[in-house]
Structure 1
Amino acid sequence: MAEVMPPLPVPSGFLVHRVAHDRPWHWLAAGWHDLVRAPQVSIAYGLCLALFSWALAYGLWYGELGYLVLPMAAGFFLIAPLIAVGLYDTSRRLESGRPVDLGLALMAWHRPAQIAVFGMVLLLLHFVWVRVALLWFALYFSSGTPPLDAIPFYLMEAENLPFLVIGALIGGGFALVAFTISVVALPMLLDRDVDVVTAIITSLRAVRANPRAMALWAGLIVLFTAVGIVTFFAGLAILFPLVAHATWHAYKEVVA
């Protein structure tokens, strides 16, 4: 797992470890171990998320707002770290030998006040993404609004490929920002008495110190989340808890 970065003159005072580029596979294995140890919490948590996602998508479609399904699904990448706080807490409890249950997991986010503050940051980022996505939609289809009842199928046509590619690049930029500032920040806020600025600085340093490992980890998160979404959210019941538990172990290994 190699050397430790020398501390930078930042308010955190925490050391950030450099790790091997293939460590995300170890994090996934440790996350799977946590999921197996507490399936009644992990899978129930994942099922709650899957059912809520399905209900939200259905509500948008039924309300003739189907064009919002794609940006909302993409925006999931931005707020997923906040949603996963309960599973970070479950991994923390398993690590220290304390009891776990779904109620404790669902209420974990509101205990340290700084988590709520960080949540506002992610929600603001999500709000900006939705506004930018709607602006891009309006600019691209300025000559005429496509048939709303045919979205998203209409967007899959070859002539609309530039819209999807550029939209994906814009969304990817927002997701990269969210990943960089939160990859270890939320587990850290749950685990230690630190403020949001310190947690974000530490997260930025963790990504800078481990570009290859964090690039692999980000790619795996995108892959698993995409699989969860394209399976009409059913895959989230397993994949989301797996990634959340693994993220806890990433934090514990990277932040000294």
Structure 2
Amino acid sequence: MQQPDDTHKESDTPTFPTIRDVKAGAPFRWFAEGWQDFKSCPIPSLFYGFCFAGMGLLITFVFEHAYEYTSGLTSGFLLLGPFLAMGLYEISRRREQGQSCSLTPTMTVWRRNAGNIGIFAVVLGIVFLIWARASLIVFALFYTNEMPNLTGFLQQLLSFENLEFLMVYFAVGLIFATLVFAVSVVSIPLMLDRNQDAISAMLASVGALARNPAAMITWAFCIVAATLIGFMTFHIGLAILMPLVGHATWHAYRDLIEPLNHG
């Protein structure tokens, strides 16, 4: 009897991943391949995209007059992105293997390696909470103006008012963002595709960053640019850009990690 498509026999005894070298311009190819996934599977991709957009809009509307909280939650949005994009990784994997673009199987893909994905989610959650607390502390110590609403805050950012606050806030944010980016480059795709343990997956992500700094800097810049464009379009752009990033992440994983031998 034929085995189900979602069964990964190759993952019974996972070994530490072999990291490959990629060119600095590789992220642009990942985005091009991700766009092909999006066009081939638009409905499930947009479902996840609208989930991202809905989260962004909810954060903005609920905390419009307490932007110190919105900043922390928006940062958390970036932290939790790799976890929330699991369905998009699965869409790309299924298309790669010639399977259907059904939405339903992608919504429970976490069950494939629930324990290790749970560990990774806890790690991201802890970092998110620390980042949100750090955001509040930076606001309390360095924000000298009256707390504005969302529009006022953005105006101050664009006019470079309160420069000391901006420098400290973005420096702290960069530290946390770099940490999260380092451990999440290929971690979840690895855990989904090979049943990899969380620690090895995070170490492989750090190794991919260390081995390919030019490509990873380009990749990080592309992700940040896509996210900023999404926010600047009142989160509507996230409906397309976040699925694109998610699909591209799967192709980044395929490019950065040496595939297992298939007999």
1:41-190 alignment to 2 at 5 Å? 41-61=44-64, 64-113=65-114, 114-141=116-143, 146-149=146-149, 152=153, 155-156=156-157, 158-190=160-192
RMSD value over aligned CA atoms? 1.9
Q: 1:159 to 1:56 in 2, by over 3 A?
A: closer
Letter in 2 for 1:24: P
- Distance change >3 Å, CA 160–CA 248, structure 1 → 2: same
Deviation of the 1:201 alpha carbon: 1.0
What is aligned with 2:20?
17
Residue 91 of structure 1 and its aligned partner are, at CA, apart by 0.5
Corresponding residue SS for 1:112: helix
In 2, Cα distance between the equivalents of 1:73 and 1:198? 28
**CA separation of 1:158/1:254 partners in 2, compared to 1, >3 Å: closer, same or farther?**
closer
More deviation in 197-206 or 93-102? 93-102
> SS in structure 2 opposite 1:215?
helix
Verify the 8 A CA contact 1:45 1:102 in the aligned structure 2.
no
Question: Deviation per CA, 1:16-54, whole angstroms, max 9, x where unpaired?
Answer: 111111111111111001001100111121012202220
Aligned to 1:38: 41
Deviation digits for residues 206-242 of structure 1, max 9, x if unmatched? 1111111111111111111111111111111111011
Inter-CA distance 40–57: structure 2 relative to 1 (3 Å threshold): same
For residue 139 of structure 1, report the CA deviation from its aligned partner: 1.2
TM-score (structure 2 length as normaliser): 0.86
1:176 offset after TM fit, Å? Answer: 0.8
Look up the equivalent residue of 1:23 and give its one-letter code: A
**Helix, strand or coil at the partner of 2:188:** helix
Shift of 1:138: 1.1
- The one-letter amino acid paired with 2:28 is W
> How many corresponding residue pairs?
242
Report whether the alignment pairs 1:254 with 2:256.
Answer: yes
The answer to whether the 8 A contact 1:90-1:105 is kept is: yes
Q: Which structure 2 segments of 5+ residues have no match?
A: 1-13, 259-263
- TM-score, normalization: structure 1? 0.88
Decide which moves more: 195-204 or 71-80. 71-80
Which consecutive aligned stretches of 4+ in structure 1 deviate over 4 angstroms post-superposition? Answer: 148-151
Distance 1:28 1:93 in 2: 18
Taking the aligned partners of 1:58 and 1:13, their CA distance within structure 2 comes to: 44
CA distance in structure 2 between the partners assigned to 1:158 and 1:27 by the alignment = 34
